[in-house]
Amino acid sequence: MAGNGGDDISGNLVIRAVEPGCQESIDLQWEMRRELDVMYGETTIDPPPLEQFRLPRAAFLVAWLDGMPIGCGAITTMNESTAHVKRVFVRSGFRGNGFGRRVMDALEKKAAELGYSMLFLETADKQLEAIRMYTSLGYERVPCAGRIPCSEQSICFERRL
């Protein structure tokens, strides 16, 4: 069932909001973190922070393909008009099939439903697939400094809804 961009992955993709502490959310966040740890030479031992996704006007979404959790994404409040997009992740064997775009579309719809007019997100310089996807979706690069705590590797984007 896993694809490499050229494979045809057919199936029923369902994306819905979940309780951030559900097992699918935790498993996907740890998988994402392990991947980033390898990429950046880090070791994460702290569990994923969940409270920010339990706030009013926040949401954690999980994507299931034929019942298997394959990706996630979340929004939380940055300010009254801006949602902060976080935890966008698609399992490696499922990338290149448009699932990340579908997660982003669901996050954008959820943000609009919650009353936001702008989306902000941060990624990092080695996450080239993510950078390409955000750029292709119309997100514009903006300075990170002064908006969020960031590192030298941080790359930030925003998009008006």
- The pLDDT assigned to 39 comes to 92
**The pair of three-digit structure tokens given for residue 158, joined into one six-digit string:** 């925003």
State the amino acid at position 75 in one-letter form. I
Q: Along the 161 residues of the chain, how does pLDDT read in single tens digits?
A: 444 444 456 579 999 999 999 999 999 999 999 999 999 999 999 888 899 999 999 999 999 999 999 999 999 999 999 999 999 999 999 999 999 999 999 999 999 999 999 999 999 999 999 999 999 999 999 999 887 777 888 999 999 99
CA distances 132 to 1, 40, 114, 157, 160, Å, are: 24, 19, 27, 12, 18
84 three-class SS: strand
Residues 6+ apart with CB under 8 A from 28: 62, 69, 71, 72, 87, 89, 91
pTM for this one?
0.90
- pLDDT for position 6: 42
Which CATH superfamily, name and number, covers 13-120? Answer: Gcn5-related N-acetyltransferase (GNAT) (3.40.630.30)
Strands 118-124 and 82-90: what pairing? Answer: parallel
